[in-house]
Amino acid sequence: MRISRKMEHVHYALELGQSRRQGLADIKLVHNCLPESSMDSIALATTIGDLVMRSPILINAMTGGAHETARINRELAILAREKGLPMAVGSQMSAIKNSEVASSYQVVRQENPNGVIFGNLGSEATVEQALRAVDMIEANALQIHLNVMQELIMPEGDRSFEGMLRRIEAIVRHVSVPVIVKEVGFGISRDNAKQLQEIGVRIVDVGGYGGTNFAAIENARRPAASALEWLNDWGTPTSMSLLETLSVYPRGAVIASGGITNALEAVKALALGASAVGMAGVFLGVLQKEGTEALHRLADDLHQGLILIMTALGASTVEALSDCPVVIGGETAGWCEARGID
Ligand code: FNR
């Protein structure tokens, strides 16, 4: 059941694509006509918590658990190794429940022995399962995903969400690697960020609305007569979720994701104060529709694009991008005003 669901997620993620209504069009970078910079002296390395990464672009959690997903994970892991990208695997719960499928995750570590790799589980996980997920792939950090609305729309999904914070707190206390709490495309609010900070979570990935849409994906998996399509626009767009979260968490603690598709959108998120950006659907789409070479070109184009824009802005490091002036307009400005976020 779970294994075919994983390939259905891949199928519908590709078919439905990304809306790109992540709110980043509301963010304007202020042009710098005297940047005093050179493309040769731009550094793309970044730090999240204690994790040092060669690139601020994270291949975000997608898959594992079936034969076809092992191929996808292998291709992504080779990309991560060749281009120095941090990478997360998809939820490892299927391998915790059935060790026969663990190899579809372990391939990521085999292909990239020295890379920065994140494990992934849902908030239903126990401490023991979290420890096993980290061991399984020698993870450098563990993502815990939050996906309440996806579960509610999923016909076979969870219906009770009690005890999430308590379980995450236990995992943070007992796992030796950093724990990253992430949404899957519905966003994290300021209030949620405070709750997570209070239980000791030091890194969050906002996973905002506007990219891969798990409400739409689960609706596509439901019989048409019972689809809840009126929920397809549910969620806080990435720009707004990022500003909510950054009003709680300090620089160096926040990953922006949800609908980020190119270097300009990535720079906007970094200029707002994120320290890395996660991309999932775009990497999957290029790999599945155009193949390995195009996937590697995409990573090169993203890095070249980042270097170009950072040169133009006079920001020689990812950290320096957060000092570049930005103007926030449109719906994002209205949202921040309504929510009292500076
Ligand atoms: C995902 N995502 C995801 N996230 C997670 O934490 N655990 C998981 O198992 C999965 N599985 C998954 C499968 C597929 C096919 C896709 C495309 C995505 C969510 C992903 O990490 C990310 O949060 C969202 O896709 C939003 O980012 P993009 O795709 O808009 O860049």
Q: How much distance in Å is there from the Cα of 113 to the middle of ligand 1?
A: 23
Tokens standing for 240? 């707004």
Whether the predicted interface score ipTM is above 0.95: yes
91 is in an annotated binding site: yes
d(CA 11, CA 7): 6
Q: How much distance in Å is there from the Cα of 62 to the middle of ligand 1?
A: 5
d(CA 236, CA 241): 6
Q: How much distance in Å is there from the Cα of 63 to the middle of ligand 1?
A: 8
Global pTM reads: 0.98
Q: How much distance in Å is there from the Cα of 35 to the middle of ligand 1?
A: 36
Beta bridge partner(s), residue 143:
120, 180
63 is in an annotated binding site: yes
* Closest residue by CA, ligand 1 atom 5: 61
Strands (E), the chain: 27-29, 46-48, 51-53, 57-59, 87-88, 117-122, 141-146, 179-183, 203-205, 254-257, 276-279, 326-328
Give the nearest ligand 1 atom to 211 CA: 30
Q: How much distance in Å is there from the Cα of 121 to the middle of ligand 1?
A: 12
Give the nearest ligand 1 atom to 182 CA: 6
**Ligand 1 pocket list (CB less than 6 A):** 9-10, 13, 18, 60-63, 90-91, 120, 143, 145, 182, 184-185, 207, 211-212, 257-260, 279-281, 284
Give the nearest ligand 1 atom to 259 CA: 30
pLDDT tens for the chain, 342 residues long, are: 444 789 999 999 999 998 889 999 999 999 999 999 999 999 999 999 999 999 999 999 999 998 889 999 999 999 999 999 999 999 999 999 999 999 999 999 999 999 999 999 999 999 999 999 999 999 999 999 999 999 999 989 999 999 999 999 999 999 999 999 999 999 999 999 999 999 999 999 999 999 999 999 999 999 988 999 999 999 999 999 999 999 999 999 999 999 999 999 999 999 999 999 999 999 999 999 999 999 999 999 999 999 999 999 999 999 999 999 999 999 999 999 999 998
Helix count and strand count (H, E) for the chain: 15, 12
For 229, phi then psi, to 5°, come to -65, -20
